[in-house]
Chains A and B, each alone.
Chain A
Amino acid sequence: RKEVEQDPGPFNVPEGATVAFNCTYSNSASQSFFWYRQDCRKEPKLLMSVYSSGNEDGRFTAQLNRASQYISLLIRDSKLSDSATYLCVVKGWSFKTIFGAGTRLFVKA
């Protein structure tokens, strides 16, 4: 079983739609959680950190459920520019920062 698992998608949604991604992690001792975004043939870039109480950044909302060991990302009012791969990232007590395989999102006009 992989340490971080994501639905690979792709998710195909129209502009303006709301879309949600989930991610599960296996190490209950994990401490820090993030969502990164990766555009085609580009490097990953931090989208947002995920805090225990949940957090929002504009159209993006991230939530953490430690009991069930999953993280979610909600995107409201999808834009064409949101088309990318979304990577779930988990960091534990060790120095490893583990990436999921990513969920692909296509937003169409």
Chain B
Amino acid sequence: GAGVSQSPRYKVAKRGQDVALRCDPISGHVSLFWYQQALGQGPEFLTYFQNEAQLDKSGLPSDRFFAERPEGSVSTLKIQRTQQEDSAVYLCASSFSSEWGEKLFFGSGTQLSVL
């Protein structure tokens, strides 16, 4: 596709439910990032993939958060047993390479509301 695609655009979950958020990066992009953005804050780093390898998951807030990119393209961020503090916009970004100056292309995000 022309850009980074994320789905669903909006997700409402009851506390305790599991959710799965999908990211389809730009074709051929090696690097993929997940960010969490709370209202009024900047994007907070969650995890990074280079192709299918998850090279950094230091930003995942707890072991309820899990991300994968099994074939080096589409990625899924899974949140188990959601809690109210998980409510945020989850942004996915990709870049062509992992070079220092490489520009990030963001998807429109998934807005998660946990009730």
Contact = CB atoms under 8 A, between A and B. Distances in A.
* B-side interface mostly: loop
A99 B35 contact: yes
Q: Size band of the A side of the interface?
A: 20 to 34
Contacts of B48: 95-96
Nearest to A42: B108
Interface stretch (A12-20, A44-52, A59-67): A44-52
* A-side interface mostly: strand
Interface residues of B, number: 25
B100 A43 contact: no
Interface in B55-111: 55-56, 58-59, 91, 98, 100-101, 103-104, 106-109
Nearest to A44: B106
Contact of A87 (B33, B42, B101): B42
B100 A91 contact: yes
A31 B56 contact: no
Q: In this complex, which of A31, A46, A91, A99 has the most chain B Cβ atoms within 10 angstroms of its Cβ?
A: A99
Interface of B: 31, 33, 35, 40-45, 48, 50, 55-56, 58-59, 91, 98, 100-101, 103-104, 106-109
